Amino acid sequence: MGDSNPEPDSHQHQQSSPPPPPSDSVQPQMTMHPITYSASMPMHMYPFPPGLSPAQPTRTKRRQVKNACTNCQKACKKCDDARPCLRCVRYGIAEECIDSQRKERQKGIKRGPYKKRDGKTANVDQQQVDVVVQHQSMAIPPAVAASVASPTPPMSYVAPVSYPPGIYPQYPAHPAAKPGDPPMYYHQPIFYAPIPAPHPQATGQDGEHVSYAHHPQFYPTFIYPPPPAYAAGPYMMTHPHARPDAQLQMAPPHHYAPYPQPYVKPPSRGPGAEVGPPQMMDPRRDGRVEHARMAEAITGPQAK
């Protein structure tokens, strides 16, 4: 589908075969919370520099999880692939965060005649179809069509975004582009906030409340891959009020500075200025809690 989804396809596992039994590996189980940008929230998108401004407003594709948990499903709210999901964690119902059951698809449903692949339909008057086809071929000469084949507005081409090997072994490296593949455009920044799956011994089968902040071995982190084209310029800043998820108070921009220093606007970069790697927050802290605290400390509690 052309969707460069970094997440492993867990859906098939859920549907066709039960998930593998949890291993006794000492490796802590990290469940990633991919926080994606909403399709309908322009504030989540990078501002376009004048030269790169698209002719028409772009609408980024809405991303969905393969399987929402029962709570999110019931509430019709955004879920994520991790279990417990962020929403359930936030509401303190992590133990109730269970994958919803999918209905089995009906089989044996008769379907009408399909459109012919050459653009002719199977059940439409042939003469009409020929006219349409002729029209289309006249309207756009192949050479021109090829030059404007991409439906995406003019944007600067950037290399496929991926993470350095070893940073997130859970996610495969971005597949190398094959000949004939459409060019990749930097569509939307994605925050990967690894939230720990509750440790088996800490989750408390007995109902003990689990707080992520009490698990210092886990690293709430925000990786922020700014598009190279923007990273060197003034466009790397996110909107101060941008929230990747409508339900979540996400990191204000100052979190890209090394914690715990409050965000200070970096000195203006000249051309060729070195752009450092994305900064991590203090891994010992629960980022989501700290985000709110720091925002309040900086902007004051009245900033609401």
Beta carbon nearer to DNA, 86 or 236:
86
- Is the omega angle on the peptide bond into residue 34 within 30 degrees of 0, that is, cis? no
**123: closest CA among 134, 111, 114?**
114
Dihedral sign for Cα atoms in the order 76, 80, 85, 86: negative
Copy the structure tokens of residue 118.
Answer: 């050459």
Copy the structure tokens of residue 177.
Answer: 């582009």
Per-residue contact flags (x/-) with DNA for residues 7 to 36, judged by CB under 7 A: --x-xx--x---------------------
Burial of residue 226 (CB within 10 Å: 0-12, 13-18, 19+) is buried
Copy the structure tokens of residue 155.
Answer: 């944007």
Residues in contact with DNA, total (CB under 7 A)?
A: 50
- Rounded CA-CA distance 207/218 in Å is 21
- Which region among 17-25, 76-84, 139-147, 152-160 touches DNA (by CB under 7 A)? 76-84
**Minimum distance from CB of 168 to DNA (Å)?**
20
**Minimum distance from CB of 199 to DNA (Å)?**
25
Sequence length of the chain is: 304
H or E element, residue 193: strand 191-196
**Minimum distance from CB of 132 to DNA (Å)?**
15
The amino acid present at 126, given as its one-letter code, is Q
Beta carbon nearer to DNA, 107 or 265:
107
Beta carbon nearer to DNA, 33 or 254:
33
Per-residue contact flags (x/-) with DNA for residues 94 to 133, judged by CB under 7 A: ------x-xx-xxxxxxxxxxxxxx---x-----------
**Minimum distance from CB of 85 to DNA (Å)?**
8
* Interface of this chain with DNA, residues 173 to 192, rule: CB under 7 A: none
**Minimum distance from CB of 190 to DNA (Å)?**
13
Contact assessment for residue 257 and residue 263, using Cβ atoms and an 8 Å cutoff: yes
**Minimum distance from CB of 205 to DNA (Å)?**
24
Copy the structure tokens of residue 160.
Answer: 């496929």
β pairing state of 191-196 and 30-35? antiparallel
- Rounded CA-CA distance 188/47 in Å is 11
- Which region among 49-57, 68-76, 129-137, 234-242 touches DNA (by CB under 7 A)? 68-76
- Which region among 4-12, 191-199, 233-241, 260-268 touches DNA (by CB under 7 A)? 4-12
3 contacts DNA (rule: CB under 7 A): yes
Beta carbon nearer to DNA, 117 or 265:
117
Instruction: Tell which one of 31, 73, 203, 279 touches DNA (CB under 7 A).
Output: 73
- Rounded CA-CA distance 182/198 in Å is 40
Burial of residue 121 (CB within 10 Å: 0-12, 13-18, 19+) is middle
Instruction: Tell which one of 32, 33, 35, 38 touches DNA (CB under 7 A).
Output: 38
- Interface with DNA by CB under 7 A: which residues? 1, 3, 9, 11-12, 15, 38-41, 61-68, 72-80, 91, 100, 102-103, 105-118, 122, 245-247, 304
